[in-house]
């Protein structure tokens, strides 16, 4: 019964950390729009945290390059498990139009494991909420799901 309650708590209280890996700010604006009164994700218990040590879900936007891949790795390592990673936008998925550039590593999954991919250029706020809900289904599946 206790583990069932714990599972429910995990699904009901995902605190997100948003990291901009060098996107054009399109996806970032859409990600932050999710937190405004129009979409109000706090009704699902989602809170935007500025601290990786308190976060459960990592939202990454933009292309990963050789400069910020260490930062991304560091943020991921600082999050206590169970944790989920959501890559947002064409750049986060594969590097987007910048994938051939000399400084670009590629998508987020080249550096850290990604659980959910949210496509779009920029991704729509509805799609981002949908992505977070998909990540919560992984929490529902248990610790081996994430």
User: What is the distance, to the nearest Å, from the Cα of residue 43 to the centroid of all Cα atoms in its chain?
Assistant: 18
Q: Between 13 and 25, whose beta carbon lies closer to another protein?
A: 13
54 near another protein, judged by CB under 8 A? yes
Contact 75, 114 (CB under 8 A): no
Tell me the closest approach of the beta carbon of residue 126 to another protein, in angstroms.
17
Strands (E), the chain: 15-20, 47-49, 57-61, 64-65, 84-88, 104-106, 116-118
Please select the residue that binds another protein; options are 37, 100, 102, 144, rule is CB under 8 A: 37
Stretch touching another protein by CB under 8 A, among 5-13, 22-30, 59-67, 116-124: 5-13
Size of the site for another protein (CB under 8 A): 25
Nearest to 121 by CA among 39, 26, 34, 28: 26
Please select the residue that binds another protein; options are 20, 22, 26, 44, rule is CB under 8 A: 44
Tell me the closest approach of the beta carbon of residue 93 to another protein, in angstroms.
27
40 near another protein, judged by CB under 8 A? yes
Angle in degrees, CA 138, 7, 41, rounded to 5: 70
Contact 49, 35 (CB under 8 A): no
User: Given the rule CB under 8 A, which residues bind another protein?
Assistant: 5-6, 8-10, 12-13, 37, 40, 42-45, 47-51, 53-54, 56, 78, 80-82
């Amino acid at each position: 019964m206790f583990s069932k309650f714990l599972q429910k708590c995990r699904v009901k209280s995902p605190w997100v950390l948003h990291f901009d890996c060098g996107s054009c700010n399109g996806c970032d604006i859409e990600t932050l729009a999710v937190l405004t009164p129009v979409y109000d994700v706090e009704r699902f218990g989602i809170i935007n945290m500025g601290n990786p040590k308190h976060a459960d879900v990592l939202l990454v936007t933009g292309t990963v390059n050789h400069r910020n891949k260490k930062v991304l790795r560091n943020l991921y390592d600082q999050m206590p498990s169970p944790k989920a990673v959501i890559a947002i936008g064409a750049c986060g998925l594969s590097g987007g139009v910048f994938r051939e550039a000399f400084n670009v590593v590629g998508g987020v999954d080249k550096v850290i494991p990604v659980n959910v991919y949210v496509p779009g250029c920029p991704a729509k706020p509805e799609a981002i909420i949908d992505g977070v809900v998909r990540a919560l289904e992984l929490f529902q599946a248990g610790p081996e799901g994430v």
